[in-house]
Structure 1
Amino acid sequence: MTCWPPGHRLSRTTASRPQPARGVRPGRGAPTGWREGRDVRSSGPTAIPRFIGRFVLPALFAALFAAPLWFMVVGSLRPAGWPPPRTLELLPPEPSVAAYARLPELIPLFRYLANSAMVVAVAVPVTVVVASLTGFGLRLLTPAARRRAVLGLLAVLLVPVTAVWATRFELFRLAGVVDTYVPLLAPALLAGSPFLVLLYTWAFGGVPDSQLGAARLEGAGWLTIWRRVALPQVRPATLAVAVLAFTFHWSNLIDPLLYLHSGDRYTYPLGLQFLRLLNPTDWPLLMAGCVVATVPCVVVFLLAQRILLNDDPLAALRSGGRR
């Protein structure tokens, strides 16, 4: 029975058939001529803030972080030898790739890139393995012991890197490994940074204790549980650690500057610094070198994003359980 408000006058059409409730859409068999109700939750004043938070703000943040990359590419496409522009240029006035062609002529570009690639190829897997093993070990501690370990890692994280440069250099000098890649790979043996260990510790905290206990009842050792049960469930954390480790070792300038003395062992960031000292006024040449240094990091980040978006978190666990 339909209740009408006081003073409402029923027309002949209105009185002949009941009206649908507000906010309810009629079914497929509803008579024609009914006005379909609208869902008040999908429209109204809340739609605009939702649109701003979902599209406008991410677009603004993306433009904010992409602007330096864009202006760097634009600066590298200026004619060779041109000075820096006085104002920001959205497009190069006379596009030219002469700066990229001159890079291999002034520095051994491909040797520097190969040296950096070799360091990264060793350091990134070692960092992932050491950080994940350490984080998994902290996950197995009691809550009180884990809390103390996390506080210790946070305390180490607060120590500035510059405070240990002299000590590290003296240790590597006494070990006789200066002018080798050992000092560049040594941070990977310590998981790179306490932050990466904490990241894995928090990620492994989401692995249920029931799965770890069931694996132990089946006779699996802790290394097997780490590899087949725990690690497949924290693939997003593994991708994040790999990207962070790649970015650090690829763009590391201080360690090669301190420990590498032979020019044939220079990594690309140190070679780029040498290029800046060699020709500090050629702005397009310097920007071209920066673009070459930035492209691998961007490519690795995009690949990690693609893997993460297309990843099935249970697929690796199922495949690991069938081995």
Structure 2
Amino acid sequence: MAAGIVGFVFFFPLAIMVIGSLRKPGLPPPGGLELLPDVLWSGNYETAAGLIQLGQQLLNSVLIVSTAVPATVLVASWAGFAIVMARPAVRRLLIGLALVVLSMPASAMWVPRKVMLEQLGLTDHTLVVALPAIMGTTPFYVLLFALAYHRIPRSLYEVAAIEQASVFRIWRSVAFPLARPTMFAVAALAFASYWGNFIDPLILLTAEDDWPLALGLRSLSALEPTLHPLYMAAAVMATAPAALVFLVAQRTLARRDLET
């Protein structure tokens, strides 16, 4: 029952978005909840794609996530493993620092990050949005990996160490394969974060050719209310890849749970 309610809460806005994208533009907004428009109009998708540089912006978004997601998974997994392998006092210090950084508002870093990147000459390029990936994106992902590695029996690490395996080999051969469900979860979360990232491109990118799809939708958000079906159609096209990734990740995790 509870799962059904939670699923409905998350599904309802998506359903409203899809229904809105099928409404013919130019009509007055519905006075109440509209289950389906009187006339289903699929031409909004083609029109919306023509109003923005859909192909270029979609390519930019794919470039960002294909760079940032693997980097986020690798760096966060390395940092999480370093926390687990550290001495107890150092481990507590690192976890404390991660929690402090995690508690800081993201908005506090917007201006310093822009100033620093401008001084380095790294702004106005699509991939600048993916730079946080080299720091694991967020301490939350690092702590997720640290928790996953902590649950692995310590004896497995000790056996590998007795066989004179390096720390990197222990991570590659023992820790990372056993933490694969966490890898899928972090990859899905990072994908959604970078795919829908709006603030960083808005601050760091000025050329429209460098914009990702999330920022491209901004140009449609100022449409008149009667033309909002076009905005809804563009939002559906931008949301579909992230929804697909989450479905694939969910099915993969469910399959692994059944196998174990």
Would you say same fold, with TM above 0.5? yes
Q: Which among 202, 215, 227 is matched to residue 147 of structure 2? A: 202
Aligned to 2:37: 92
* Cα 1:172–1:212 shift into 2, 3 Å: same
Aligned to 2:49: 104
Aligned to 1:125: 70
Counterpart amino acid of residue 170 in structure 1: V
1:145 aligns with 2:145: no
Counterpart amino acid of residue 251 in structure 1: G
If you compute each CA radius of gyration, which structure gives the higher value, 1 or 2? 1
Counterpart amino acid of residue 113 in structure 2: R
* Cα 1:61–1:254 shift into 2, 3 Å: same
Aligned to 2:228: 283
Contact 2:64 2:127 in 1 (8 A): no
| Partner SS state of residue 80, structure 1 | coil
| Partner SS state of residue 186, structure 2 | helix
1:73 aligns with 2:18: yes
> Take 2:112 and 2:142, find their aligned partners in 1: how far apart are those partners?
23
1:264 aligns with 2:223: no
Contact 1:83 1:283 in 2 (8 A): no
1:8-87 to structure 2, matched below 5 A, reads 56-87=1-32
Counterpart amino acid of residue 123 in structure 1: A
> Take 1:117 and 1:85, find their aligned partners in 2: how far apart are those partners?
35
Q: Which among 45, 60, 75 is matched to residue 115 of structure 1? A: 60
1:229 aligns with 2:180: no
The answer to which structure, 1 or 2, has the higher relative contact order (CA under 8 A, 6+ apart) is 2
Unaligned runs of 5+ in 1: 1-55, 316-323
1:121, distance to aligned residue in structure 2 (A): 0.2
| Partner SS state of residue 166, structure 1 | helix
> Take 2:125 and 2:28, find their aligned partners in 1: how far apart are those partners?
37
Counterpart amino acid of residue 189 in structure 2: L
| Partner SS state of residue 221, structure 2 | helix
Q: Which among 90, 102, 105 is matched to residue 157 of structure 1? A: 102
Deviates more, 1:229-238 or 1:79-88: 79-88
1:82, distance to aligned residue in structure 2 (A): 2.8
1:292 aligns with 2:237: yes
**Per-residue displacement from partner, 1:178-233 (whole Å, max 9, x unpaired)?**
10134311110010001111111111101111111111122211111101100111
**Per-residue displacement from partner, 1:124-163 (whole Å, max 9, x unpaired)?**
0000000000000000012222112111111111111111
1:179 aligns with 2:156: no
> Take 1:83 and 1:222, find their aligned partners in 2: how far apart are those partners?
64
Unaligned runs of 5+ in 2: none
Deviates more, 1:144-153 or 1:126-135: 144-153
> Take 2:58 and 2:45, find their aligned partners in 1: how far apart are those partners?
14
1:65, distance to aligned residue in structure 2 (A): 1.2
1:113, distance to aligned residue in structure 2 (A): 0.5
| Partner SS state of residue 311, structure 1 | helix
> Take 2:234 and 2:87, find their aligned partners in 1: how far apart are those partners?
50
Q: Which among 218, 224, 235 is matched to residue 163 of structure 2? A: 218
1:271, distance to aligned residue in structure 2 (A): 0.7
> Take 1:150 and 1:158, find their aligned partners in 2: how far apart are those partners?
12
Contact 2:129 2:201 in 1 (8 A): yes
Contact 1:80 1:98 in 2 (8 A): no
> Take 1:219 and 1:97, find their aligned partners in 2: how far apart are those partners?
63
Deviates more, 1:248-257 or 1:176-185: 176-185
| Partner SS state of residue 205, structure 1 | helix
Contact 2:65 2:195 in 1 (8 A): yes
> Take 1:238 and 1:124, find their aligned partners in 2: how far apart are those partners?
10
Calculate the TM-score normalised by the size of structure 2. Answer: 0.95
Counterpart amino acid of residue 122 in structure 1: T
